[in-house]
Amino acid sequence: MRVVLFGAGGNGKELMPILVENFLNEFSCRLEDFQYIETNPKSELIHSIVVISEEDFFQQDLSDEVLFNVSISDPKTRLILVNKFLSFGCQPVKIVSKNAVVANNVKLGLGVTISPLALISPDVTIGNFSQINYFASVSHDVNVGNFVTVGPGARINGYINIEDDVFIGAQATIMPGSIGNPTVIGKGSKIGMGAVVLGDVQPNSTVAGNPARKLH
């Protein structure tokens, strides 16, 4: 078995120790079974983990079991890379920190990553390959779609539907909707750092500020 993580930047360096901790004990992996993958590696080793190029990785024999995740924050880039791994027969792996608080009745999709000190409240669904970063919180009765990025310290309040491919910047706040009338954050939209969102956000739009206003 090999366990690989695409991206050795800041988020990758945060996620790899979680991946190693989760797998070393449960599956009797060795440290050499873990690898970073980068398009253009700047070093061969990061914190004792080997870094290889994307080109070299996909030229290897991948017939043995390979588990993977992608730490790239941009949802569209993450989608492209995930599909590439899947096309080579690699299998997605969740990365959930033991220092995160995740309620028992939370549904997590394939390849979800939840960083330390994140909080996921009851009755939350998080879709495939979505990222919940450090200190982010997702309150009750929230649906997070596929390939969503929730930045560090962002606060998602209750009764909110976040559609696929949404990027939510660090420290942004989405104010709550209500039972039967959830706030909808449209597919492919972007919410700027520190923005305070008071209502629905249109698909493929960018909002920023307090209160958040549409930029384009």
- Please give the positions annotated as active site: 140
Containing 107, the helix (H) or strand (E) segment is strand 106-108
Give the DSSP letter string of 119-151.
EE-SSEEE-TT-EE-TT-EE-SSEEE-TT-EE-
β-pair type (106-108, 91-92) = unpaired
* CA 165 – CA 146 distance, rounded (Å): 6
**What's 2's DSSP letter?**
E
Other Cβ atoms within 10 Å of 15 Cβ, number:
23
Structure tokens, 40: 């253009």
Distances (CA, A) of 89 to 33, 44, 155, 205: 18, 25, 35, 34
> Does residue 211 have a cis peptide bond before it, meaning omega lies within 30 degrees of 0?
yes
* CA 8 – CA 15 distance, rounded (Å): 9
